[in-house]
Amino acid sequence: MKKIINRPADFVDETMEGIVAACGDHIRFLNGDRRVLISGYPVKKGKVGIVTAGGSGHLPLFLGYVGAGMADACAVGNVFASPAYTKMAAAIRAADSGAGVLCLYGNYGGDRMNFEQAIEDCAFDGIRCRSVRACDDAASAPKENAGKRRGVAGIFYAYKCAGAAADQMRDLDAVAAVAEKAAANTRTMGVALTPCIVPEAGRPTFAIAEDEMEVGMGIHGEKGITVEKLMTADRTAGLLMERLLDDMPLPDGSEVSVLVNGLGGTPAEELFIVYRRVARILEERGVKVFMPHVGEYATAMEMAGLSVTLFRLDDELKELLRAPACTPFYTNANK
């Protein structure tokens, strides 16, 4: 596959330079460090800081949600690789304004280990931290082992609600409770049609036949739960919804936000075709949809495919979801 890049070894740093050059009114490097981004908006004294981190290759995850009303800082790793704990610690220190820091990230081994070390280091500076991990990928572990599930596109909702709670000047425990509540009410499942190519590897992350699709594929190319013959958009939406609703039943009268997320190589038109069917399935079940999101929110380089996320709402989460936010890759100013 052809790529428009310079040296593969420079891929991440040059991506970061381009993003800051284009979005300097939202974000900036921390002391010139191209692997730590902080919000360009003034930080309220006494506001809980929100820090995230993760590997590159998933734009707009993770750095794209740094800005007003969402995260305050992000440490960035190589493609599909965790950042160093020193970068996470630098992000935590930069985000702290005296009220402590929530570390909100996906449930991956390297990120868990490095955040634990970073939090331990920052504790010596008197910075209190709480950790919340997104575990929304319903395909990656059975319901009874939900704590082992991967964090995928649904982490967007945790960023949005926790960021809004922090902006309301809630304390650290309260902001963490909102993030935990959002994460507990989020389920995601996706399908992959093609692999992707990590620039420095130069080869596909997996192989799949032209007439096949992998159900439950992870955003790093992790194996899914089944390989199926390529389905129509309606059948694909039906399969994903059946599995999601089995994992998180929604009684008549429930309200959700829906995220139909492109993995990097799927046209927006196809995402809307899938959303059309998802919306009808929910309507038939008496479930209302509030603030649907359709687009690219968590990609895997140029992988073709998509994921569907259901975010179960109550009055508090609904209020926090519609609170204003503005980052380089997300704004809800028109919602």
Distance CA 89, CA 15 (A): 22
Which of 232, 244, 260, 236 is CA-nearest to residue 312? 244
Q: What is the CA radius of gyration of the chain?
A: 19
Distance CA 256, CA 69 (A): 21
Residue 109 CB neighbours (<10 A):
8
Check 35, 47, 58, 130 and give the catalytic one. 58
| 47 Cβ neighbours under 8 A, 6+ residues apart | 97, 99, 166, 167, 169
Check 220, 277, 293, 312 and give the catalytic one. 220
Token pair, residue 47, equals 């506001």
Cis peptide before 62 (omega within 30 of 0): yes
Contact 260, 308 (CB under 8 A): yes
Distance CA 57, CA 264 (A): 9
Token pair, residue 15, equals 């991506």
Is 220 considered catalytic here?
A: yes
Q: Are strands 49-56 and 101-106 parallel, antiparallel or unpaired?
A: parallel
Distance CA 288, CA 45 (A): 38
Contact 310, 250 (CB under 8 A): yes
Catalytic residues: 58, 220
